[in-house]
Amino acid sequence: MATAKFTLIKQHITGKIEAGEWQENAQVPSENQLAEQFNCSRMTARRALTELVEAGVLERSQGLGTFVASLKSQSSMLAIRNIADEIKERGHGYSVEQLDLEEIDAIAPIAIALGLEEGDKVYRSVLLHCEQGTPLQLEERFINPKLIPDYLNQDFSQITPHEYLSTVAPLTEARHIIEAIPAGQQLKEQLHLKANEPCLQILRRTWSRHGVVSFARLVHPGSRFRVGGHLTFK
C-alpha cells in the first residue's frame, strides 16, 4: 500500500530537522510549496503541517509562517496524553525501562491523594521513559488497588500505565500541579542530568467514575522538556 502524501511530507520535514538541515526556528516551506513539491492538494499539505504543530515539532506564527519549534520536547498542559504516543508523533524512537513495580504501605501524602487511610496497601510503579535513547520522563505512580486490582500483573515494557488505565478505568477528571524542582543525586543519575540542572515536575491525580485511581509524579529534565497549550476564546 502506498504511503499517504501527508505522511511523506511529515517524514520529509522531520528528516530535515533530525539531519540538522533545518535548525530550531528555521522557517519551513509553505502549504503551497509543499503541495507543489509533493504533487498533492493544499489541504493535504496543511494536514501534515498541522499534525507536526500539534506534536510540538513545528510552531506557527500568524502572518509569518511555520517554523521549527524549540528542540525541547513539548507536552500539552491542557490534555493528558500517552508519552509514548507524543514521542512517536515527533518521529522519534520511544523506549522505557521499568525500575520498580511493587506493593507498599501508603504514607500520609499518598494516602490523602488516593483517598485512603495511612498504612493502606497501594501499588507503586516507577518507569523511565526515553526519547531517542535519552531519558525524558521519570514516572512514579501510585495506584488504588481497590479500583485497579491487576495493576501489578502488567508488563509496562509493552504498555504504558496511561494506556492500561485508560482501558480499565477511563478518565473522568484530572488535576495537576506543575513546578520547578532541584534534582537530587538519584534524579541526576536516572535522568542523566548535567550539574545543577533543574527539573520540571508534574503532580497529577486522576479519577474514574468510581473514585481516585492514580497519583503520579512526573519529572522531566528542564533542558529537554516544556509544557504548552493553546486556548481559543469566543
Residue 230 has pLDDT above 70, yes or no: no
pLDDT-derived band at 1 (thresholds 50, 70, 90) equals low
Please give the pLDDT value at position 233.
47
Query: How confident is the model over 121-128, as a mean pLDDT?
Result: 97
The domain spans of the chain are: 5-68, 90-227
**What's the whole-number mean pLDDT along residues 173-183?**
88
User: Burial letters for 56-74: b for 16+ Cβ neighbours within 10 Å, e otherwise?
Assistant: bbbeeeeeeebbbbeebbb
Pick the CATH number of 5-68 from 1.10.3720.10, 1.10.1740.10, 1.10.10.10, 1.20.1290.10: 1.10.10.10
Provide mean pLDDT across the span 58-66.
Answer: 84
The CA distance from 64 to 7, in Å, is 24
Distance from chain centroid for Cα 82: 6
Which range, 122-126, 196-200, 225-229, has the best average confidence (pLDDT)?
Answer: 122-126
pLDDT digits (tens, 9 = 90+) for 80-116: 678 898 888 888 899 999 999 999 999 999 998 998 8
Which range of 5-19, 78-92, 150-164 scores highest in mean pLDDT? It is: 150-164
Is 0.85 topped by the overall pTM?
Answer: no
Q: What whole-number distance in Å separates Cα of residue 39 and Cα of residue 33?
A: 10
Q: What is the rounded average pLDDT for all residues in the chain?
A: 87
What pLDDT score does 64 carry? 84
Residues 6 or more apart whose Cβ sits within 8 Å of residue 69: 24, 56, 57, 58, 59
Residue 229 has what pLDDT?
57
pLDDT the model gives residue 234: 46
The mean pLDDT value for 187-203 works out to: 90
The backbone torsions φ and ψ at residue 208, rounded to the nearest 5 degrees and listed phi first, read -110, -175
What pLDDT, in 10s, does the model give residues 12-57?
A: 998 888 777 888 888 999 999 999 999 999 999 999 998 888 777 8
**Alpha helices of the chain — where are they, by DSSP H?**
5-18, 31-37, 42-54, 83-89, 108-114, 161-168, 185-191
- Asked if the 90-227 domain carries CATH number 3.90.1150.10, the reply is no
